[in-house]
Amino acid sequence: MAEMIKERSHVALEGPQASQGAEAGKKTGTPTVIVDDLHIIYRVYGAASGHEKGNAANALMRILRRQGRPQMKEVHAVKGVSFVAYHGDAIGIIGRNGSGKSTLLRAIAGLLPPAKGAVYTDGQPSLLGVNAALMKELTGERNIVLGCYAMGMTPAQVREKYDEIVEFSGIDEFVNLPMSAYSSGMGARLRFAIASAKTHDVLLVDEALATGDREFKRKSQQRIQEMRKEAGTVFLVAHNLDVIEETCNRVIWLHKGKIKMDGDPAKVLAAYTKN
Amino acid sequence: MSQPESAVADAQAGGRAGGATPKGESLAALAERHGLRRSIARPALPVYLRQLWQRRHFIITYASSRNVSKYSNSVLGQLWQVLTPLLNAAVYWLMFGLILGQKDKPGVGGNYTAFLITGVMVFTFTQRSVLGGAKSVSGNLSLIRALHFPRASLPLAYTLQELQQLGWSMAVLLAIVLVTGEPITWLWVLIPVALLLQTLFNLGASLFIARVGAQVRDMTQLLPFALRTWLYASGVFYSIQEQTKGLPDLLRWALEANPAAAYIQFMRDLLIYERVPDQWTWITCVFWAVCALIVGFLYFWQAEERYGRG
C-alpha cells in the first residue's frame, strides 16, 4: 500500500511536467473536461429487503408511521471525484463492477444530474451509445434512420451516412428485416455502426468493444482510434485491459465511487492487476 | 483504507490543476478561465425551443416508429388503432344507450350512435395522450440516460403518435356519421380547427403529466381511475345539459367548462347538430388549449435537468 501511495505522489509531483513527455497532448494545456468534487446519487426502486415483507398491510403501516417507501434506495455511486482532462487525452477508466465507471461517464455526458459538485466541459460530450433509442420490432433500415436522428443528425447527414453505416455493420440484406431477427452479434454490430457514425468533441465510450466477432472487434477498435484523432478527448470504459493499454495515455482507477489511482497507464494497470 | 487514498487522489487532481494554473485556483475557477460550461444546465427558454425545433425529425420519426412497432406483434396490426375505440363505443352503446336508456333522451339529438362515437373518439384522443405523456419520461429512462436531447421531445412524440392514430379514427368517425344519416356541411371545414385546439391542449396536458409521472411513481396506478372519472364527467355517453336539469347551475357550468366536454361539444356541433359552436364553447376550447400548453410547457421545462435521476 505504501508503495502505491508513493507511486501516486510521484505522479502528482510530476503532474504538469510529465505532460511534456509521454502525454504530449497536454502540452497544449487546455482542459476540456473538469470534474470538480462530483457526487452522484441514484434512486433505485426495488423490492423490499428481507425483513420487510412486501404486503399491503406493511405498506399501510409504513405510510401511517410516515416512513416512506423502503423499496426506494439511494445508491451513492460516485463519491467526490475530481480530475482535469486535457485536449488530446485518451483516458481509460477501470475498476470492478459497480465501482461507478458508467455512472461517471453519464455524469460527464451531462445525463445524470450531480447531487453535489459539478462537471465542466468544453462543448457537448457525447456517449457512444444509441441502443436505447432503437426498437427491435423495426427493420434495420428504420432503426438506422431513427438512431441517427436520436443522436441529433439532420436528414442530409443521415442520407450521407446511411450506406456507410450499412457497410460498416456488415449486415447486408438483413437491413430489411426487423432487428428482433438478428443474431446478438449482428445487433451489436449495427448498434456500434450507428453510434459511431457521428463525430464528437468529447467522446465517451462504454464497453462498446466487447461485442461482435474477432474481425468486427478489430474494425471497431480501429474506428475508435480514428474517432480519438477527431475528438478532443476520449474516455474509455472497458474491462479488457489490453484495449485500455493500447488506446489510452492516462488511466483512472475507480474503486467504490472514488478515484484510487490516476496516471500513467503502465503504472495504474500494474497496480490494478496486482490488487 | 480507501478514505485516505481518495484524499490523496483528490489532492493529486487538485495538484495537477494547480500546476497548470496559478496556485490555489479552484477547479471551478479553472473551468471559468478556459470557458468551460457546466454540462448539466437547463437552457434558456428560447434556446430550448430552438433545440426542440432542431429535433423535429427525431420527434416525428420516433412517433411513427412507435406506431409501427406497437402493433407489430398482433395479427390485425394497425387495424387495432380503429378497432379499440369502436369496440369501446359498442360496449357503451349497449350499457348506456340501450340498458340505461340514454338512446332516446331528447338532449342527444336523435342520432345516439353518432353522438356516442363522436364522444368516444374525441375523449380517447385526450385520454391516450395523457396516459402516454405520463409514461413518456418514466418509461424512457434508459434513453434519457444515454442521449442528449431536449426532454420535451418525448411527451411531444407521444402526443404526435396519438395524433397519427387519430387520423384513422377520424376517417372511421366521419364514415359512421355519414352512414347514420348526417349530411356533409361546410362546417366540416372547422374540423381541423377543433383538432388543432384539442391537440394543443393534449400536448400541454401531456407535458404537465410527464413531469408529474417522472417524479411520482404511483401516478401510473392512480391515473386510470382519474381518467375514468373524467370520462364519466365529460358527457361522452349522455347529454350534460339533459342530465343536469334541475340541478344547480354551478354544477352544469363546472361540467361544461371541463376541457374534454368542451372539445366533445365542439365536434358534435360540427358533425351532428350542424351549427357553429356557441361562443362559450369557443372560449372554453381556446382557453384550455392556450392555458394547458403554456403551463404544461413551462412546468416541464423547469425540471429539464432533473429528468433521469430517479
Could you read off the pLDDT tens digit of each residue along chain B, which spans 310 residues? Answer: 333 343 344 444 444 433 344 446 787 778 777 777 776 668 889 999 999 999 999 999 999 998 888 877 777 777 777 788 788 888 888 887 777 777 777 767 778 888 888 998 899 999 999 999 999 998 888 888 788 889 999 999 999 999 988 888 888 889 888 888 888 888 889 999 999 999 999 999 999 999 999 888 788 888 999 999 999 888 888 888 777 777 788 888 888 889 999 999 999 999 988 888 889 899 999 999 999 999 999 999 998 888 876 5
Q: How far apart are CA B223 and CA B170, in angstroms?
A: 25
The residues, any chain, with a CB within 8 Å of residue B282's CB and separated by 6 or more, are B266
When pLDDT is averaged across residues A225-247 and rounded to a whole number, the result is: 79
A80 and B6 in contact by Cβ < 8 A? yes
Q: In the numeric block, which cell numbers belong to residue B236?
A: 361522452
Domain of residue A259 covers 2-35+82-125+200-274
pLDDT of residue B52: 93
Q: A80 at the B interface (CB within 8 A)? A: yes
Q: What does the pLDDT average to over A170-174?
A: 84
pLDDT, residue B9, reads 42
Cβ-defined contact of B36 to A151 (cutoff 8 Å): no
Question: What's the pLDDT band for A195 if we cut at 50, 70, 90?
Answer: confident
Question: Average per-residue pLDDT in chain A?
Answer: 77
Count of structural domains, chain A: 1
pLDDT of residue B39: 65
Q: Which three cell numbers stand for residue B174?
A: 366521419
Question: Do the domain assignments include residue A170?
Answer: no
Min Cα distance B232 → chain A (Å) is 29
Q: Evaluate whether residue A137 is within a structural domain.
A: no
Percentage of residues in chain A with pLDDT exceeding 90?
A: 6
Q: Above 70 in pLDDT, residue A158?
A: yes
- Number of A to B CB contacts under 8 A, please give it: 194
Q: Flag whether A53 is in a domain.
A: no
Put simply, the answer to whether A127 touches B147 (Cβ < 8 Å) is yes
In the chain, the amino acid numbered B37 is: R
E strands, A10-71, in order: 31-45
CB-CB under 8 Å, A108 with B146: no
Q: Do A34 and B31 touch (CB under 8 A)?
A: yes
Reported confidence tier of residue A40, pLDDT bands at 50, 70, 90: confident
pLDDT higher than 70, residue A36? yes
Cell, residue A135:
426498437
Assigned domain for A262 exists = yes
Give residue A14's pLDDT band: very low, low, confident or very high (50, 70, 90): very low
Best CA proximity match to B272, nearest among B191, B166, B202: B191
C-alpha–C-alpha distance, residues B223 and B233, integer Å: 15
From the candidates A34, A45, A262, which should be mutated to test the interface with B, based on the most B CB atoms within 10 A? A34
With H, G, I as helix, E, B as strand and everything else as coil, classify residue B225.
helix
CA-nearest residue to B41 within chain A is: A110
- Please tell me if residue A256 touches chain B, with a CB cutoff of 8 Å: yes
Query: What pLDDT score was predicted for residue B282?
Result: 93
User: B223 to chain A nearest CA, in Å?
Assistant: 20
Q: How does DSSP classify residue A22?
A: T
End-to-end CA distance of chain B: 31
pLDDT confidence of residue A24 = 39
Helix axes B219-233, B112-138, angle to 10 degrees: 160
Whether A27 is covered by a domain: the verdict is yes
pLDDT of residue B293: 95
Residues of A in contact with B19 (CB under 8 A): 15-17
A145 interface with B at CB cutoff 8 Å: yes
Best of B10, B12, B62, B151 to disrupt the A interface (most A CBs within 10 Å) is B12
pLDDT at A48 over 60: no
Q: Which of A12, A31, A151 is opposite residue B15, by nearest beta carbon? A: A12
Confidence tier at A134 by pLDDT (50, 70, 90): confident
The end-to-end CA distance of chain A, in Å, is 10
Which chain A residues are within 8 Å of B146, Cβ to Cβ?
106, 111, 127, 129-133
Contact by Cβ (8 Å): B51, B43: yes
Whether the Cβ atoms of residue B263 and residue B190 lie closer than 8 Å to each other:
no
| Edge-to-edge strand list for the sheet holding A72-86 | A72-86, A31-45, A116-121, B37-38
Residue A145 lies in a domain: no
**CA dihedral angle for residue B257, residue B262, residue B266, residue B268, rounded to 10 degrees:** -110
| B chain contacts of residue A84, beta-carbon cutoff 8 Å | 13, 16-17, 20, 27, 30
Q: Which of residues 152-171 of A touch B (CB under 8 A)?
A: 152, 154-155
Greater confidence, A48 or B153? B153
Q: Is A14 part of the contact surface with chain B (CB cutoff 8 Å)? A: no
Measured between CA atoms, how close is B126 to chain A, in angstroms? Answer: 25
Name the β-bridge partners of A127: A204
Separation CA A141–CA A176 (nearest Å): 6
Q: A73 lies in a domain?
A: no
Judged by a CB distance cut-off of 8 A, whether residue B22 touches chain A is: no
Q: What is the mean pLDDT of residues A62-85?
A: 76
Q: At what angle do helices B112-138 and B80-92 cross, to 10 degrees?
A: 130
Subunit contact B16:A9, Cβ cutoff 8 A: no
B-chain CB neighbours of A17 within 8 Å are 19
A91 domain-assigned = yes
Give contacts of A 89-128 with B, CB under 8 A.
106-114, 118-122, 124-127
Q: How large is the average pLDDT for residues A121-150?
A: 84
Query: For residue A268, what is the domain's CATH number?
Result: 3.40.50.300
Using CB atoms, pick whichever of B5, B36, B146 lies closest to residue A31.
Answer: B36
Distance from CA of B255 to the nearest CA of A (A): 34
Residues 6+ apart with CB under 8 A from B200: B289, B290, B292, B293
Measure CB to CB from residue A118 to each of B28, B148, B309 and give the nearest one.
B28
